[in-house]
Structure 1
């Protein structure tokens, strides 16, 4: 079942990449507890829409999120080394964390997985963005297949507290 507004994000082990530094292991609880976070999820690092339109919008508007006291994380069902290379290639700024959900455990626990087998991708994350305060989901936008509207940086800036 898909996570709902008002529910607490599950505590799952995940790999974290920040500022192109070494990969760190963490559970998700400390990443969200006591913080206001926008989490965007993409079907895959280095895929066309994700690399050309989705993540670049968040990189461009990162300072606007920070000015509101919001942290920004981007997650994909990819291994940590792919996510680290993607962070470097996309010039992701320091403080903007990429989360590598290599086995899809966090994605599955949110109920937001999709079957990308028809495209040779296996199980991946649906394209979504959520806003959480202290680990509690306050806003959840899930894209329809093939779309990029409600999860863009601009859409999330419009939807999150000012």
Structure 2
């Protein structure tokens, strides 16, 4: 599993924008920026839709006021699903990123194999990244939602 002080691995994440599909190279996307990246096991799922993403939607302006350039949500879903979920959640200030083949999640060592979601998914976590390096990593224990919440990340900034 990636640790604090380590650089993010090279990987590609996808985003559906008004201009079409964009494939972001992680190392370029997060270079020279302060980023809050949080991951959910699945879009449109209960805890993710009722608590995790909505917390970041509500606190986005306050988090960005702490010097954060990008707040991004990633899930092992395709960019189309992530974009639709973001729209449904009014996540205008959140970059919704798809890790369709779980390659980024696996490179981080934060994957989990679960029958409930039909295979490989991401563990629930949040991290702070500065210039491509993880400066804070909060990984949830299975079936919990505490350390990766928007409130926990905001309090730590």
**TM-score grouping bracket, smaller chain normalisation:** over 0.9
Q: Please tell me whether the aligned partners of residues 113 and 123 of structure 1 are also in contact (alpha carbons under 8 angstroms).
A: yes
Find the counterpart in structure 2 of residue 45 from structure 1. Answer: 43
Q: Is 2:148 aligned against 1:151?
A: yes
* Mapping of residues 5-154 of structure 1, within 5 Å: 5-17=4-16, 22-70=20-68, 71-94=70-93, 96-117=94-115, 119-154=116-151
Report how far residue 23 of structure 1 moved. Answer: 2.8
1:31-62 deviation line (CA, Å, top 9, x unaligned)? 11000001000000000000011000000000
CA contact (8 A) 1:13 1:27 kept: yes
Distance change (3 Å), C-alpha of 1:44 and 1:92 = same
Cα drift, residue 83 of structure 1 = 0.6
CA distance in 1, matches of 2:85, 2:126: 19
Instruction: State the superposition RMSD in angstroms.
Output: 1.3
The 2-side partners of 1:21 and 1:146 are apart by 37
Q: How many residues align?
A: 156
Q: C-alpha displacement at 1:17, in angstroms?
A: 4.1
Asked if the contact 2:16–2:80 (Cα under 8 Å) also holds between the matched residues in 1, the reply is: no
So what's the TM-score if we normalise by structure 1?
Answer: 0.92
Give the distance between the partners of 2:156 and 2:114, measured in 1 at CA: 29
- What residue ranges of structure 2 are gaps of 5+ in the alignment? none
Query: Matched residues in 2 for 1:15 and 1:112: separation?
Result: 18
Structure 1: how far apart are the matches of 2:43 and 2:113?
16
Distance 1:53 1:21, change over 3 A: farther
